[in-house]
């Protein structure tokens, strides 16, 4: 039936190439069995049919056909054409159209099924693209996180709102309070980013990390000869923070002598290097953070009262993780994404039991503890999801008793807090008063009485 | 009523949702799983237009950054292109002008429409074509903000492209 040269036909068949002879109108004149098998599902190859009806990728190529006929040796190629078969598979075809030299006015069309080879390429590309998409998503999330705090709970929403207000205020000092690991350093950076230009310095000092003499030199800088090893002058961290933010972590550990000097810096916006009599001016915002009860330290004469009141003009308290409800899972999933990338893993989530264990744990180390726990779990886990055994959390029964509620240094409005707790309990219980009462350790009647008292519907 | 056949291509970098847009438009279906396209897949959809029926051949083409020399054969004979970017990945806009330019070199009379996809993942404020002028300014083409997931503006974007093709001299 075909009129190709025998040797050419054998060659095409030896290379698993389906082929057809096509006229200049792109109509089928003759074709091989393989050509007929690879046409669009539902179509049947017969002489006289348009090539574009059987291979829609070749539709509209009339001009191209004329060009090929006019330029012997030219070839038109379409690689990696996806073709869904009637069986629901996708085959990947390479199509070629060229002038048939031995038959003037005719074109040779070939089709080759290269599915196996192309699928390997697809798998490599798929993995690479998935990684790039994950990196991109994580990068975007981290950019967002750098401008906000992760969390949807009322406590976090309120903190975010207050944090933005504080950042926009002209306050020269801000006090951040909260348990260890609640993210005070992150909050300080956030305030800094919301306040200053990108290039403004953010200088972090841990007041508990250095002995008093060294801390003083580090903070205030020194002149040459100020002490035995002061062979040349060195500016301190206060100078380094000029025009930006000085973040003093663990301010409660600041020695008494330095407390007085820091108060001077805050109140006068000036300081002296060690060994110098020259007063230097500095413009900066001072953010101090502590996990200690500073008011208590003042009462015990361990922290200067004047410095406490100066720092405490604007203060924010970061909530402990155990009070953030579903935010625990939100943060856990965030860390899971980070360590998937870091460790090149593909752990897809948490089992229901693991989620329950995360919610039940009391998190004495707060977000830092959660992050470390997920990191450790990701190193050792072998399955596609994290299970309680991977998390290795201590049993709930072994948890220490809840710490008594600590009164914030700035005091609180008891009735406002009670109203807020009632609303939160109702929200968490989905409006179910029996469950809300259980959350607050109240009877249903007591809860109803209190709801009526505050006019909560 | 006359039936016309026109070829349109989907252009854009990987993962912007070109295949999902085609699937939503042709099959009214969405799948959340990402499957990287290799090569090209041609789908067909008939549109009712003022002059009759338009037989649209929709060429869903792999990542425009990786096509190399084969892209010319993919673009040959095209009448238009839907140029797609991902609203959640600003970097997906960076080479829109390059894709358009390379496409128009092969199909100089073709019409363009821009589509910012994954609208469902964007929180307020809603995007505006003005936001993307640095990437699209050289090509006076309408800009739609679509969601293959919800179907928002998908039909409108394809229809706008079809109308622009039919209105072309």
Tens digit of each residue's pLDDT (9 = 90 or more) over A28-83: 999 988 899 889 888 999 999 999 999 999 988 888 889 898 887 889 999 999 99
pLDDT band for position A169 (cuts 50, 70, 90): confident
CB distance B74–A78 less than 8 Å? yes
Q: Which residue of B has its CA nearest to A56?
A: B42
pLDDT band for position A144 (cuts 50, 70, 90): low
Segment A130-148 shows an average pLDDT of 76
Least confident of A106-120, A137-151, A159-173: A137-151
User: Do residues A188 and A316 lie in contact, with contact meaning Cβ atoms separated by under 8 Å?
Assistant: no
- Across A171-261, the runs of DSSP E, i.e. the strands, are 173-178, 202-206, 221-222, 234-235, 245-249
The mean pLDDT of chain A is 87
* Chain A residues touching residue B39 (CB < 8 angstroms): 79-82, 92, 118
DSSP B7: E
Q: Which of B57, B73, B79 to mutate to test the interface with A (most CBs of A within 10 A)?
A: B73
d(CA A202, CA A196): 9
Instruction: Give me the sheet containing A202-206, strands edge to edge.
Output: A202-206, A245-249, A285-290, A173-178, A315-318
* Chain B residues touching residue A80 (CB < 8 angstroms): 38-40, 62, 70
> Measured between alpha carbons, how far apart are the two ends of chain A, in Å?
86
Least confident of A44-53, A442-451, B152-161: A442-451
Q: What is the pLDDT of residues B57-90, one digit of tens each?
A: 999 999 888 877 788 899 999 999 999 999 989 8
Select from A56, A92, A140 the Cβ nearest to the Cβ of B38. Answer: A92
Select from B5, B73, B74 the Cβ nearest to the Cβ of A60. Answer: B5
User: Do residues A37 and A18 lie in contact, with contact meaning Cβ atoms separated by under 8 Å?
Assistant: yes
Select from B36, B44, B91 the Cβ nearest to the Cβ of A129. Answer: B36
Tell me the sheet residues that pair with A287.
A174, A247
Q: Which residue of A has its CA nearest to B92?
A: A136
Q: A with B: how many residue pairs have Cβ under 8 Å apart?
A: 74
**Whether pLDDT at A1 is above 50:** no
- Rounded to a whole number of angstroms, the CA Rg of chain B reads 15
* Chain B residues touching residue A57 (CB < 8 angstroms): 40, 42
> Measured between alpha carbons, how far apart are the two ends of chain B, in Å?
20
A431: burial class by Cβ within 10 Å (0-12, 13-18, 19+)?
Answer: exposed
Q: Is B29 on the interface with A (CB under 8 A)?
A: no
DSSP A138: H
Select from B15, B40, B77 the Cβ nearest to the Cβ of A80. Answer: B40
pLDDT band for position A22 (cuts 50, 70, 90): very high
Contacts of residue A167, Cβ cutoff 8 Å, sequence gap at least 6: A190, A191, A194, A195
CB distance A79–B42 less than 8 Å? no
Tell me the sheet residues that pair with B61.
B40
Q: What is the H or E stretch that residue A12 is in?
A: helix A6-14
CB distance A140–B70 less than 8 Å? no
Six token digits for residue A152: 């949807």
pLDDT recorded at residue A196? 76
**Whether pLDDT at A389 is above 60:** yes
Six token digits for residue A201: 């310095």
**Whether pLDDT at A341 is above 50:** yes
CB distance A78–B44 less than 8 Å? no
Nearest-Cα distance to chain B for A341, in Å, is: 18
* Chain A residues touching residue B88 (CB < 8 angstroms): 137, 140
Q: What is the pLDDT of residues B33-53, one digit of tens each?
A: 889 999 999 999 999 887 788
User: Do residues A436 and A428 lie in contact, with contact meaning Cβ atoms separated by under 8 Å?
Assistant: yes
Percent of chain B with pLDDT over 90: 70
pLDDT recorded at residue A146? 64
pLDDT recorded at residue A430? 79
pLDDT band for position A167 (cuts 50, 70, 90): confident
Most confident of A404-413, B18-27, B34-43: B18-27
Q: Is A131 on the interface with B (CB under 8 A)?
A: no
Task: Count the neighbouring beta carbons within 10 Å of the beta carbon of residue A1.
Answer: 7
Q: Which residue of A has its CA nearest to B17?
A: A133
CB distance B41–A133 less than 8 Å? no
Q: What is the pLDDT of residues A270-304, one digit of tens each?
A: 999 999 999 999 999 999 999 988 888 899 888 99
Tell me the sheet residues that pair with A8.
none
Nearest-Cα distance to chain B for A93, in Å, is: 9
d(CA A182, CA A367): 6
d(CA A454, CA A416): 9
pLDDT recorded at residue A405? 66
* Chain A residues touching residue B14 (CB < 8 angstroms): 125, 129, 132-133
pLDDT recorded at residue A205? 92
CB distance A118–B36 less than 8 Å? no
pLDDT recorded at residue A134? 83
* Chain B residues touching residue A60 (CB < 8 angstroms): 5, 7, 57, 77
Q: Which of A80, A142, A143 to mutate to test the interface with B (most CBs of B within 10 A)?
A: A80
Q: Which residue of A has its CA nearest to B39?
A: A80
pLDDT recorded at residue A398? 45
Segment A244-252 shows an average pLDDT of 94
User: Do residues B35 and A126 lie in contact, with contact meaning Cβ atoms separated by under 8 Å?
Assistant: yes
Six token digits for residue A15: 């290379």
pLDDT band for position A397 (cuts 50, 70, 90): very low
d(CA B101, CA B106): 9
Q: Which residue of B has its CA nearest to A55?
A: B42
A414: burial class by Cβ within 10 Å (0-12, 13-18, 19+)?
Answer: exposed
pLDDT recorded at residue B1? 47
CB distance A56–B14 less than 8 Å? no
pLDDT recorded at residue B149? 94
Nearest-Cα distance to chain A for B88, in Å, is: 8
**Whether pLDDT at B55 is above 50:** yes
Select from B34, B42, B91 the Cβ nearest to the Cβ of A57. Answer: B42
Q: What is the pLDDT of residues A185-205, one digit of tens each?
A: 999 998 998 887 768 899 999
Window B:130-169, CB contacts with A under 8 Å: none
User: Do residues B59 and B9 lie in contact, with contact meaning Cβ atoms separated by under 8 Å?
Assistant: yes
User: Do residues A291 and A179 lie in contact, with contact meaning Cβ atoms separated by under 8 Å?
Assistant: yes
CB distance A122–B36 less than 8 Å? yes
Which position has the token pair 């629901």?
A88
Nearest-Cα distance to chain A for B77, in Å, is: 6
Q: Is A326 on the interface with B (CB under 8 A)?
A: no
Nearest-Cα distance to chain B for A135, in Å, is: 11
d(CA A21, CA A100): 8
Q: Is B42 on the interface with A (CB under 8 A)?
A: yes
Which ipTM value was assigned to this complex?
Answer: 0.89
Window B:46-65, CB contacts with A under 8 Å: 57, 62-63
Segment A323-330 shows an average pLDDT of 91
């Amino acid at each position: 039936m075909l009129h190709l040269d025998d040797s050419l036909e054998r060659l095409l068949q030896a290379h698993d190439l389906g082929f057809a002879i096509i006229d200049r109108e792109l109509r089928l004149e003759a074709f091989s069995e393989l050509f007929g098998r690879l046409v669009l599902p539902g179509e049947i190859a017969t002489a006289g049919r348009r090539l574009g009806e059987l291979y829609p990728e070749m539709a509209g190529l009339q001009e191209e056909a004329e060009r090929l006929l006019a330029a012997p040796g030219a070839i038109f190629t379409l690689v990696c054409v996806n073709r869904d078969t009637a069986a629901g598979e996708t085959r990947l075809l390479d199509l070629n159209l060229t002038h048939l030299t031995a038959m003037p006015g005719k074109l040779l069309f070939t089709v080759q099924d290269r599915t196996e080879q192309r699928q390997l390429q697809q798998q490599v590309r798929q993995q690479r693209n998935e990684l790039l998409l994950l990196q991109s998503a994580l990068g975007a999330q981290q950019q967002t996180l750098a401008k906000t705090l992760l969390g949807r709970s009322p406590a976090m929403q309120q903190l975010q709102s207050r944090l933005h207000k504080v950042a926009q205020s002209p306050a020269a000092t801000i006090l951040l309070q909260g348990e260890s690991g609640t993210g005070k350093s992150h909050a300080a950076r956030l305030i800094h980013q919301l306040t200053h230009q990108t290039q403004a310095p953010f200088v972090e000092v841990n007041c508990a990390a250095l002995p008093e003499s060294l801390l003083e030199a580090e903070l205030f800088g020194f002149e040459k000869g100020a002490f035995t090893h002061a062979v040349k002058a060195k500016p301190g961290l206060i100078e380094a923070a000029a025009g930006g933010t000085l973040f003093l972590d663990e301010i409660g550990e600041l020695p008494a002598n330095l407390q007085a000097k820091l108060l001077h810096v805050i109140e006068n916006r000036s300081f002296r290097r060690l060994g110098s009599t020259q007063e230097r001016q500095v413009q900066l915002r001072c953010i101090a953070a502590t996990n200690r009860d500073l008011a208590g330290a003042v009462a015990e004469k361990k922290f200067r009262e004047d410095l406490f009141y100066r720092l405490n003009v604007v203060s924010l308290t970061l909530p402990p993780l155990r009070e953030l409800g579903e935010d625990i899972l939100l943060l856990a999933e965030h860390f899971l994404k980070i360590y998937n990338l870091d460790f090149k893993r593909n752990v897809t989530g948490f089992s229901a039991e693991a989620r329950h264990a995360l919610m039940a744990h009391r998190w004495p180390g707060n977000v830092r503890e959660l992050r470390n726990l997920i990191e450790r779990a990701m190193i050792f886990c072998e399955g596609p999801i994290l299970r309680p055994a991977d998390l290795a959390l201590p049993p709930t029964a072994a948890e220490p008793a809840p710490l008594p509620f600590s009164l914030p240094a700035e005091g609180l409005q008891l009735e406002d807090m009670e109203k807020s707790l009632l609303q939160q309990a109702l929200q968490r219980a989905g409006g179910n008063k029996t469950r809300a009462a259980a959350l607050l350790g109240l009877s249903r009647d007591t809860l109803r009485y209190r709801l009526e008292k505050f006019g909560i519907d | 009523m006359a039936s016309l056949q026109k070829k349109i291509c989907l252009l854009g970098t990987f993962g912007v949702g070109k295949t999902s847009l085609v699937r939503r438009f042709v099959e009214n279906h969405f799948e959340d799983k990402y499957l990287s396209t290799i090569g090209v897949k041609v789908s067909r959809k008939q549109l009712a237009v003022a002059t009759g029926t338009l037989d649209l051949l929709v060429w869903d083409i792999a990542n425009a950054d990786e096509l190399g020399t084969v892209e010319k054969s993919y673009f040959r004979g095209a009448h238009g292109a839907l140029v797609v970017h991902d609203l959640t990945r600003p970097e997906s806009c960076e080479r829109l002008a390059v894709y358009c330019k390379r496409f128009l070199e092969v199909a100089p009379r073709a019409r363009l429409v821009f589509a910012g996809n994954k609208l469902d993942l964007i929180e307020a404020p809603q995007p505006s074509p003005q936001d993307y002028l640095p990437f699209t300014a050289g090509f006076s083409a309408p800009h739609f903000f679509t969601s293959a997931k919800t179907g928002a503006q998908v039909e409108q974007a394809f229809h706008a492209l079809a109308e622009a093709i039919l209105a072309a001299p």
